[in-house]
Structure 1
Amino acid sequence: MVSAPSASPDNPAALASQTRYRVSGMDCASCAAKIDTAVRRIEGVEDVSVSVAGGSLTVTHSGALPKDAVARQVSKLGYGVRPAEDDGEARPEQGHGGKSLHPRGEEEAGEPWWRSKRALPTIACGIALAAAYAIGKLVPAAEHWAFVAALLVGLAPIARRAAMAALAGIPFSIETLMTIAAVGAVLIGATEEAATVVLLFLVGEFLEGVAARRARASIQGLADLVPKTALVERDGGTAEIPAASLAVGDLIVVRPGDRIPADGEIVEGAGEIDESPVTGESTPKRKGKNDNVFAGTISTDGVLRVRVTATAEDNTIARIVRLVEEAQESKAPTERFIDRFSRYYTPGVLVVGALVATMPPLLFGSGWNEWIYKGLAILLIGCPCALVISTPAAVAAGLSAGARRGMLMKGGAVLEGFGRITAVAFDKTGTLTDGRPVVTDVVAYGRTEREILSMAAALEQGSSHPLAVAILEKAKADKAPIPPAFGARAVAGKGVEGNVGGITLFLASAKAAAGRASLSPEQVSRTEDLNGQGKTVSILLADGAVAGLIAMRDEPREDAKAGLASLKDLGIRTVMLTGDNRKTAEAIAAGLGIEAQAELLPQDKQRIVAEMQKGGLRVAKVGDGINDAPALAVADIGIAMGGGTDVALETADAAILHGRVEDVSRMVRLSRAAMANIRQNIGVALGLKAVFLVTTVIGVTGLWPAILADTGATVLVTANAMRLLGWGRD
């Protein structure tokens, strides 16, 4: 995917573009660092962003890059690469001489694990090592060379990667440490141990690959929720076409049990929609005409005709996958610190290993073989695999876990920042409330409530005004009959009038109704009481007399009260900032138990958020409209709610796709769980290294335990991070 070029601030003539690639074979942050460093050396490259979990590489460059330059550089390091725009066709990129730059690797769909790029050398080394042990027993004189041969089988690909990394400007790689340690062990006669250590290293790499593949599959599995084909109405019939070719406005037919192939709006039919694949909610929702449906959800009963509202590249699932992949390329502060630390850590390990190997023999006359052996063991202990993967693995798993539950966070910094939030400012309409009025009260005078609803609904038939829609929905829910209205017309600025069953009706505001009929003190008092609760009151006149009152209000979301209480349980202050009138805001706030500030302009919301920050609070702002964009931008974390406007989604740092207020507290909990996981990972990585460093120097452990410590720490750290993928299921 290539973005539109834009002028550089430093050089207006220069054009900056972004090109995105898919990279296979990456296992950990060390792989990402090698690719990052190598690609940055290409002339014209301005910035590089690599996501291990997403298996992606984004290159920002000035003008056009030399043909296949990025692909050649990445493939030299032993990774497969192809343009992301080839995703649909999975065509391998061709390198110099027509050779494929996407070698068969573990990321190939449907490929068995034993044919993966990491498994083949591991299996070959294992077989060679077993053969060496057998030869040693049968022909003791050939034992040394048998183990050297087994060592070369496993070490050759490692040494090649080390050499290519050095040529690409990365001399202090994990492969370099491994190669030096293995060659050094052979020179002091420890060939059996050297060959075994190489095998253990390859096993560790293979396990890292399995874990990385699982992390990628977690989010990519979302894309598989969308069916590959769709039944579209064409020429008076239906035709099965690829779902990816659906266009906005197409009419598709969804049968019972089918997955919905695109985001859309139901134009005919009704049924229970299982949204659990996207939202995680186990209870199906009843949906009918004019309701929105998401790609990947399941129609459990009934036939639906759906008008497509988003193309395959823009549907809910695609947006989730795209946002998470981009987020995984954005590093958390902790991850950036670990990256900086590891740049000095690996050369430091080489220095320490060299000092341990040489200083005791030189200064104290100790045996060279003994201390060289210990120095080589320290090189293996110092492999930074577990340390550099400790943060990105947890961040990637946390982002994926959130995305699968409709909570999108745009990067590790946002995930980390949620855990430090101390206050949340909510918009009202469409955030704490559903964003549409509903009928809350029907008061009848001389007639039944059902009759009042029937007459009012008869006047409102065909209207799309929000208050009219609320009355029609209430009549439908209460199964009130809707008779035909004759001569129905809107009275500008006042209401609607017409004749129903020979009765002249007028449905209007209290002020307009008072101009045509006399309201009793009780009716005036009741109207004022309902207004005081933040409700809009319409009065129905029948033949010039008051027949009833209908009160409507934009009601709080079902989970709003519980969501706010959950934040308070976490010690987080909550406040409502709204442009609505004070009475309505105070009525809603009182019911939810939240402080409120009303009648605010967009700049007022921005100012209040800034004042809260000056008071020492770390503020998250939640909103869904254009008027929320300034406050979303100034907040420590901006959160777009539900199907918010594009402006809100672009400005925000995070998005709650399914409009649940409780998801704000869930994001905070997920952040805290991820940060606890990261601290555990760093503790395990550094703790095991410290223990084995001491035991190696005092002679308790050697090469085998050293590599087991590194591999074991990497496996433990990765497994611990992967636990976050299941976060929130209990």
Structure 2
Amino acid sequence: MDQAAGKLRYRIGGMDCAACVTKIENAVGRLPGVETVGVSLGAGTMTVTGETFHGAAVERQVRALGYAIAPADASAKVEAAPDHAHDHDHYQDHGHDHSHGGHGAAIDGPWWKTRKAVLTLLSAAALVVAYAVGLVMPDLAPWAFFIAMAVGLVPVAQRAVVAAMTGTPFSIETLMTIAAVGAVFIGATEEAAMVVLLFLVGELLEGVAAGRARASIRGLADLVPKTALLEAGGTTTEVPAETLAVGAIILVRPGDRIPADGVIVDGQSAINEAPVTGESVPRNRGPGEPVFAGTINTDAVLRVRVTAAAADNTIARVIRLVEEAQESKAPTERFIDRFSRYYTPAVLLVGALVAVVPPLIFGAEWSEWIYRGLAILLIGCPCALVISTPAAIAAGLSAGARRGLLLKGGAVLETLRRVTRVALDKTGTLTEGRPRVTDIVAIGRSEADVLSLAAALETGSSHPLAVAILERAAADRVPVPPAAAARALAGKGVAGKVGGVEVFLASPDAAGERVPLEPGLLARIAALNDAGKTVSVLVANDTVAGLIAMRDEPRPDAAEGLARLHEAGIRTIMLTGDNERTARAVGSGLGIDEIRAGLLPEDKQRIVGELMADGQVVAKVGDGINDAPALAAADIGIAMGGGTDVALETADAAVLHGRVTDIAGMIELSRATMGNIWQNITVALGLKAVFLVTTILGITGLWPAILADTGATVLVTLNAMRLLAWQPRQ
């Protein structure tokens, strides 16, 4: 039996507007065993879930509607249809058979090779021939135009019948068929043929626009090179990038794109991360630091250890998250869907009343008012209205993803604009997540000597404070001599001999047990502590040689990011497990509105709940496991780049490259997207209202009606695609 259980994903070809989504969801949702169906116009995908359903039946149902369908990946292919494998081969070997009824298209390929394009050209050619026949033999003109109309209308009518039988009786194809056939009955065959051609041209334009929107996110996949230089057995071999296994060592030359997520093993270079994160300035990376697939190595040869297979690298995850997000509908989109279910039957009713009431009650001419009623059917086509929201949502999600802002669905994108309070973790969110040396106070020696002695003791240690001292020594290019008998003293510090000098680096309390600390020095230590800094005292030959202060410093853009949130009318609150003094030292310098410190994970979750109960719309931003409960509890959870997998999985959104300004950027993107949606709805309904009045008054007829419908749909789609060029404010 060809059965599948659980969840299957498919690629769908030939969709051009949101009405296509509705038809497919209705048709597949009626199949036995299918529980949920999610179709994304923007991604060109469909996800089907259920306990037990027939994969072949799903594919047959979609093909019957006139769309192409293929499993999203090889595993789905085997799982979905083990007894139907020859059909999948058929997809690959005979692309022209992907669809039926002229509506479908090859899932990938240029638009001019689609059956939709071929049908449009045939219809246009038939209309030209009809005009020629009309010039030569005027008596045959009505029949010639009837045949020209049939060339385009028969496939459209077939799709209307299939859609009606599978749960969508009031489709655009139904309205088109009624209008064209009605025009023939009142003798307007020439107009009927022209209207069918204009309809097909409009569909083709919609398909091209939708295809461009889809390509914008799939184009991310092209950032990853197809081949990689694999090191094995002392030799370097060029292999397909998709075959790289976790743990493999690859060589990346200057100017090459990095073919996989990994960690640098050897070499140091500036990495251009703009293609993946939108970060405009290349970042220096060295041994032990992560690199992403698709980024560009600019300076030197790197050896990189692969940390993720091709299917799980950063770009693959971004594409997967965005495509899944596009399958979930925003509240506005769901409302428009519900509205259109009543809207289309209402249009049919209004068209019928316009056609029948004036002749019956007022004795008007039947042919004239039937003509106007048919024009109203075309004006009433809901395509432009229905696509107004998903087109903008898809473009907004894609624009965000290309700039390092991942949002898991239209509902998230829509809710962000209403955020009134942003709650931020401190460590790793507002700060870089690792301490840095901020102050070196030398006493009787130079600062370079103090740093050199401290670095000598810390060489080889992986403690965060030791790493901070070693990084500062490397940055200042001070010599780091070898230390003899270096040892850690539990709970106190480290000691050893450097160049014949007994050196001890310890906390102020531990240093005070060995040598007396003068009041002035204690006051200096207290001032540094008040600034949220951790102070280590360097003792050389039983004399205080200096102080080294360290702190987890705010991210370079933290103050600007918070200022932009305040400009947007959003209040901020810091929720941290760190101590009150450190939290206030960092928060007050950044302009945080409220600071809550010394919190456990459950405290953060409780505070978020209290804010929401108080009527606030809360976005929680964090990067660690301890943030996961609060991220899940908030209206919107945002994970910072470089955070734990738990935070990324729990969150509704993610900032890939960890810039605080990108939190404000997400909210700006949400507001821009919702503004675009309302522009689209205004255009769609406004044009319909104008042409409804002019049609009833007899000013416009069938041709302007179909132009108004297809024109509005194309305008709405193109307006939505403007969002693809969206840039966060710098």
TM-score (norm 1): 0.96
Q: Are 2:68 and 1:80 aligned?
A: yes
Residue aligning to 1:392 = 390
2:11·2:107 contact (CA, 8 Å) conserved in 1? no
Matches within 5 A, 1:155-170: 155-170=153-168
Per-residue deviation at 1:146?
Answer: 1.1
Per-residue deviation at 1:107?
Answer: 6.5
Per-residue deviation at 1:112?
Answer: 3.4
Residue deviations 1:340-388 (CA, integer Å, cap 9, x gap): 0111111111111111111111111111101110110011001100000
Superposition RMSD in Å: 2.0
List gaps (5 residues or longer) in structure 1.
Answer: 6-14
Residue deviations 1:375-429 (CA, integer Å, cap 9, x gap): 1001100110000000000000000000111111111111000000011010000
Alignment CA distance shift 1:264-1:479 (3 Å): same
Amino acid at match of 1:79: Y
Which of 119, 122, 129 is the equivalent residue of 1:121? 119
Q: Are 2:622 and 1:623 aligned?
A: yes
Residue aligning to 1:379 = 377
2:67·2:98 contact (CA, 8 Å) conserved in 1? no
Per-residue deviation at 1:88?
Answer: 11
Per-residue deviation at 1:104?
Answer: 4.8
Per-residue deviation at 1:615?
Answer: 2.2
Alignment CA distance shift 1:508-1:286 (3 Å): same
Separation of aligned partners in 2, 1:84 and 1:274? 31
1:72·1:95 contact (CA, 8 Å) conserved in 2? no
Alignment CA distance shift 1:87-1:175 (3 Å): farther
2:9·2:45 contact (CA, 8 Å) conserved in 1? yes
Question: What is the DSSP-based 3-state SS (H/G/I as helix, E as strand, rest coil) of the residue aligned with 1:68?
Answer: helix
1:71·1:95 contact (CA, 8 Å) conserved in 2? no
Which of 174, 177, 185 is the equivalent residue of 1:176? 174
Per-residue deviation at 1:614?
Answer: 2.3
Q: Are 2:490 and 1:492 aligned?
A: yes
Question: What is the DSSP-based 3-state SS (H/G/I as helix, E as strand, rest coil) of the residue aligned with 1:302?
Answer: coil
1:355·1:375 contact (CA, 8 Å) conserved in 2? yes
Separation of aligned partners in 1, 2:223 and 2:491? 48
Residue aligning to 1:12 = none
Amino acid at match of 2:668: R
Per-residue deviation at 1:626?
Answer: 1.2
Which of 306, 311, 334 is the equivalent residue of 1:336? 334
Matches within 5 A, 1:392-431: 392-431=390-429
Per-residue deviation at 1:145?
Answer: 1.2
Separation of aligned partners in 1, 2:648 and 2:470? 32
2:441·2:546 contact (CA, 8 Å) conserved in 1? yes
Q: Are 2:347 and 1:349 aligned?
A: yes
Amino acid at match of 2:20: C
Per-residue deviation at 1:219?
Answer: 0.4
1:82·1:92 contact (CA, 8 Å) conserved in 2? no
List gaps (5 residues or longer) in structure 2.
Answer: none
1:104·1:117 contact (CA, 8 Å) conserved in 2? no
Q: Are 2:556 and 1:558 aligned?
A: yes
Residue deviations 1:3-22 (CA, integer Å, cap 9, x gap): xx9xxxxxxxxx96111111
Alignment CA distance shift 1:229-1:107 (3 Å): farther
Per-residue deviation at 1:92?
Answer: 12
Residue deviations 1:74-117 (CA, integer Å, cap 9, x gap): 01001111111239999998969848466458865873332123
2:429·2:623 contact (CA, 8 Å) conserved in 1? yes
Residue aligning to 1:8 = none
Separation of aligned partners in 2, 1:451 and 1:521? 24
Residue aligning to 1:9 = none
Residue aligning to 2:716 = 717
Residue aligning to 1:20 = 9
More divergent stretch after superposition (607-616 vs 429-438): 607-616
1:625·1:644 contact (CA, 8 Å) conserved in 2? yes
Residue deviations 1:249-303 (CA, integer Å, cap 9, x gap): 1110001111001111111111121111112222211211112111000111210
Separation of aligned partners in 1, 2:55 and 2:622? 45
Question: What is the DSSP-based 3-state SS (H/G/I as helix, E as strand, rest coil) of the residue aligned with 2:50?
Answer: strand
Separation of aligned partners in 1, 2:518 and 2:56? 83
Q: Are 2:151 and 1:153 aligned?
A: yes
Amino acid at match of 2:647: A
Residue aligning to 2:197 = 199
Amino acid at match of 2:454: A
Aligned residues: 717
Residue deviations 1:620-677 (CA, integer Å, cap 9, x gap): 1100111111111121111111121122112111111110100111111111111111
Alignment CA distance shift 1:108-1:302 (3 Å): farther
Residue aligning to 1:44 = 33
Alignment CA distance shift 1:74-1:304 (3 Å): same
Separation of aligned partners in 2, 1:581 and 1:447? 33
Separation of aligned partners in 1, 2:542 and 2:516? 9
Question: What is the DSSP-based 3-state SS (H/G/I as helix, E as strand, rest coil) of the residue aligned with 1:711?
Answer: helix
Separation of aligned partners in 2, 1:395 and 1:160? 31
1:534·1:583 contact (CA, 8 Å) conserved in 2? yes
Residue deviations 1:444-479 (CA, integer Å, cap 9, x gap): 111100011111111111111100000000000000
Amino acid at match of 2:351: G
Alignment CA distance shift 1:298-1:109 (3 Å): farther
Residue deviations 1:55-75 (CA, integer Å, cap 9, x gap): 111001113x22511101101
2:264·2:286 contact (CA, 8 Å) conserved in 1? yes
Separation of aligned partners in 1, 2:539 and 2:126? 95
1:107·1:213 contact (CA, 8 Å) conserved in 2? no
Question: What is the DSSP-based 3-state SS (H/G/I as helix, E as strand, rest coil) of the residue aligned with 1:515?
Answer: helix
Residue aligning to 2:657 = 658
Per-residue deviation at 1:211?
Answer: 0.8
2:279·2:657 contact (CA, 8 Å) conserved in 1? no
Matches within 5 A, 1:4-19: 17-19=6-8
Alignment CA distance shift 1:284-1:567 (3 Å): same
Residue deviations 1:177-232 (CA, integer Å, cap 9, x gap): 00110011011100000000001100110011011101110100111101111111
1:154·1:202 contact (CA, 8 Å) conserved in 2? yes
Which of 298, 305, 314 is the equivalent residue of 1:300? 298
Residue aligning to 2:646 = 647
Question: What is the DSSP-based 3-state SS (H/G/I as helix, E as strand, rest coil) of the residue aligned with 2:461?
Answer: coil
Residue aligning to 1:238 = 236
Alignment CA distance shift 1:361-1:96 (3 Å): farther
1:104·1:116 contact (CA, 8 Å) conserved in 2? no
2:69·2:107 contact (CA, 8 Å) conserved in 1? no
Per-residue deviation at 1:684?
Answer: 0.6
Residue aligning to 1:707 = 706
Amino acid at match of 1:51: S
Separation of aligned partners in 1, 2:483 and 2:520? 30
Residue aligning to 1:541 = 539
Q: Are 2:321 and 1:323 aligned?
A: yes
Per-residue deviation at 1:335?
Answer: 0.2
2:13·2:108 contact (CA, 8 Å) conserved in 1? no
Which of 447, 464, 472 is the equivalent residue of 1:466? 464
2:631·2:651 contact (CA, 8 Å) conserved in 1? yes
Residue aligning to 2:570 = 572
Question: What is the DSSP-based 3-state SS (H/G/I as helix, E as strand, rest coil) of the residue aligned with 1:261?
Answer: coil
Question: What is the DSSP-based 3-state SS (H/G/I as helix, E as strand, rest coil) of the residue aligned with 2:270?
Answer: strand
More divergent stretch after superposition (88-97 vs 27-36): 88-97
Q: Are 2:683 and 1:677 aligned?
A: no
Separation of aligned partners in 2, 1:180 and 1:159? 9
Question: What is the DSSP-based 3-state SS (H/G/I as helix, E as strand, rest coil) of the residue aligned with 2:435?
Answer: strand
Alignment CA distance shift 1:445-1:324 (3 Å): same
1:263·1:316 contact (CA, 8 Å) conserved in 2? yes
1:82·1:91 contact (CA, 8 Å) conserved in 2? no
Amino acid at match of 2:45: S
2:56·2:80 contact (CA, 8 Å) conserved in 1? no
Per-residue deviation at 1:571?
Answer: 0.5
Residue aligning to 1:11 = none
Alignment CA distance shift 1:154-1:237 (3 Å): same
TM-score (norm 2): 0.96
Question: What is the DSSP-based 3-state SS (H/G/I as helix, E as strand, rest coil) of the residue aligned with 1:556?
Answer: coil
Alignment CA distance shift 1:77-1:418 (3 Å): same
Alignment CA distance shift 1:588-1:466 (3 Å): same
Separation of aligned partners in 1, 2:620 and 2:316? 25
Question: What is the DSSP-based 3-state SS (H/G/I as helix, E as strand, rest coil) of the residue aligned with 1:481?
Answer: coil
2:123·2:152 contact (CA, 8 Å) conserved in 1? yes
Amino acid at match of 2:576: T
Q: Percent identity?
A: 67
